[in-house]
Structure 1
Amino acid sequence: MVNACNSLGKAVSKYGVYYIFGNDYLHNYGGNPYYSTEEFINELRRNNVNILKDETVMVGDKFYITGRDRMLRFMIKKVQKNCLQH
């Protein structure tokens, strides 16, 4: 994870480097990631990677990038289920 974040931070980009969470950022294939979300975010920040989480930014007055919180869909489903039960 540290090496991956370091590599992202070294990417050469006119507009900066951005990270958007997906469904595999915690290496959940085996069910037990070897690093926490907080550790991952801190490592990205140490490498000057912009993290987008439930936000949209305009990049270089040219285009937008939007990041969503992957956990949002699970929270919405849980709230919907609770509402239907009551």
Structure 2
Amino acid sequence: MDTEKARQYLSSILNKNLRVYTSDGRLFWGALKCTDPPSSRDREKAAEKSDGETVKVDMTSRYLGLVVIPGEHIAKMEVEEFASQMRN
């Protein structure tokens, strides 16, 4: 797919619900709000720090808010479409 077709496709799925599967096996579900060019690497240097406490809770899902997933960690993306959306 050439660059212009890729841009058009990404523009067409903005604000649609996606399921994004990552290389570590996680699934993220939510609306696509924006993309960054591949040269934008500043957020990849972020880190999460734990205070070391162990919490024993059965969490099969949780609300995360805004999530940034670097492209190299995306294994698969699926656009969630319903019959009512496909008629347009």
Same fold (TM over 0.5): no
Structure 1 length-normalised TM? 0.25
